[in-house]
Amino acid sequence: MKDGLIFKKIINKEISANIIYEDQIVTAFQDIKPKALVHILIIPNIFIASSNDINETNKHILAHMFDIAVKIAKKQNISQEGYKIIVNCNKNGGQEINYLHMHLLGGEELKSLY
């Protein structure tokens, strides 16, 4: 799994990204290797390695990430037709970067894994 340093560099504006939204808690930007017409990553501004590391002190961040995902879906005009929100956890769960992140995908029909 890749180190999450790239996400920290995006948050700190050390490398460029097409940032869609940012506030004190999260940053959202377009994925550089999109899997759908709309593919946005939403990341916490503090380091959390994976969903396994959500606890009493930081669980509000995950709720905020979902709230922002819904707001972005509406702004991107994908909320009516539908979208996916995906959070992968560790290697077997498909997490490629060691930093909690949420994928917002939409803009076209997305196939289900089940």
| Distance between CA atoms of residues 68 and 19, nearest Å | 13
**Number of other residues whose CB lies within 10 A of the CB of residue 4:** 18
Which tokens go with 31?
């994925």
Question: Rounded to whole angstroms, how far apart are CA atoms 2 and 24?
Answer: 25
Confirm whether 101 is a catalytic residue. Answer: yes
| Residue of 39, 60, 64, 101 marked active site | 101
| 20, 63 Cβ separation under 8 angstroms | no
List, by residue number, the catalytic residues: 101
